[in-house]
Copies of this chain bind each other. A is one copy, B any other.
Amino acid sequence: MTLTERQREIIENAVEIIARQGIQELTIKNLSSSMHISEPALYRHFENKHAILVAILEYFAGWSVGALTEIADSEAPPEEQLREVFRRHISHFAESPATSGVLFAEEIFKNEPALARTVLQIMATAERTVRGILQKGINSGVFRSDVPLDNLVMSTLGPLRLLVTQWRLRGYDFDLRRRGEALADSVVTMVSA
């Protein structure tokens, strides 16, 4: 499912629209006009609107799985891996703020069960990876064991999501990297034994 150059441009524009104006504004008309092409032209590149949404999600799924796998497979100690989970996500969002509007906005895909499932899978992958990291840390005694692993996972990903959500809702008006770094420190501190 590799994308053509044009397809990439399209989903970038689509993401931008979703981020800036919400999904309700992601219409074929808006999308095509943002690309300075005609509406039918879009259909040369994607079968229909659904296919565009699918591509958006797959794009993120690919990035997410890739990034998380890389982290989990690294030699770094668990605390560092945890920090890296924060760092990678936050870097990604800081570089293309638009994406944050899509990745954490599950509502968007509610109407389309197939997409909703993909979203859940992306979330599940992230959870699984973080759980793995935490488990390693617990085993090695770096992370606390007085809290159920599941809740430790929530306590890691929850704050990360909330930070990004607020950043987005507030119009990207604070320094995400700085706040993200600090939050990662705090989370690691709280998670540590």
CB of B155 within 8 A of CB of A151, answer no
Q: Knowing A105-B107, A148-B182, A158-B161 are in contact, say whether A166-B123 is a contact too (CB < 8 A).
A: yes
| A106-B101 Cα distance, complex, nearest whole Å | 10
| A158-B144 Cα distance, complex, nearest whole Å | 19
Q: Which residues of chain B are within 8 angstroms of A144 by Cβ–Cβ distance?
A: 190
Instruction: Let me know if A67 is at the binding interface, CB within 8 A.
Output: no
| A163-B154 Cα distance, complex, nearest whole Å | 7
CB of B159 within 8 A of CB of A154, answer yes
Tell me which of B110, B116, B151, B162 contacts A154 (CB under 8 A). Answer: B162
Q: Which residues of chain B are within 8 angstroms of A107 by Cβ–Cβ distance?
A: 22-23, 101, 105, 107-108
CB of B110 within 8 A of CB of A24, answer yes
Q: Give A residues with C-beta under 8 Å from B.
A: 21-25, 101, 105-108, 110-111, 116, 119-120, 123, 144, 146-148, 151-152, 154-155, 157-163, 165-166, 169-170, 182-183, 185-187, 189-191
